[in-house]
Amino acid sequence: MSYFLSEAAWVQEKEDVTNLRRAKRELSEGLNPELDPPVDLDDAKDVINDPLRNCQVMIATRMNHQFDDRVIRRSLDSLDWKGRQLLNLPECRIVHGRLDGTARKTQILRRIAHELKEE
């Protein structure tokens, strides 16, 4: 979390904005990514000729590598930046009941339970 508040992140964001602005200027005439996205994403010719898309991919790839092996975890107590709860779930209710499965499902469950006991 502290990375997002660092000077390095601020500098990198400024560079990204500058690169995106530059890439928009470099767009070849007649290519408008918002109106004419490549029909086939496997068609490398369209992607290579689109400096804006190439810049966006470069930024996304860099950010993806920066946060390898990290996970954002939310819990019931997680708050947003204004201090409000992120998850507004109703209270958990546990309902006990009996389910009668088919003979095949019962056989599978017994086999799994037996295998787990052997471990």
Q: Is residue 54 part of a domain?
A: yes
Q: Is residue 100 part of a domain?
A: no
| Nearest alpha carbon to residue 16 among 78, 51, 48, 58 | 58
Q: Is residue 20 part of a domain?
A: yes
Q: Confidence class of residue 67 from pLDDT cuts 50, 70 and 90?
A: confident
Q: Is residue 117 part of a domain?
A: no
Q: Which domain holds residue 47?
A: 2-66
- Tell me the pLDDT of the chain averaged across its residues: 79
Q: Is residue 91 part of a domain?
A: no
User: Total domain count for the chain?
Assistant: 1
pLDDT mean over 84-96: 84
Spatial distance between the Cα atoms of 29 and 91, rounded to a whole number of angstroms: 57
Q: Is residue 96 part of a domain?
A: no
pTM: 0.45
pLDDT at residue 11 in the model: 93
Q: Is residue 90 part of a domain?
A: no
Q: Is residue 30 part of a domain?
A: yes
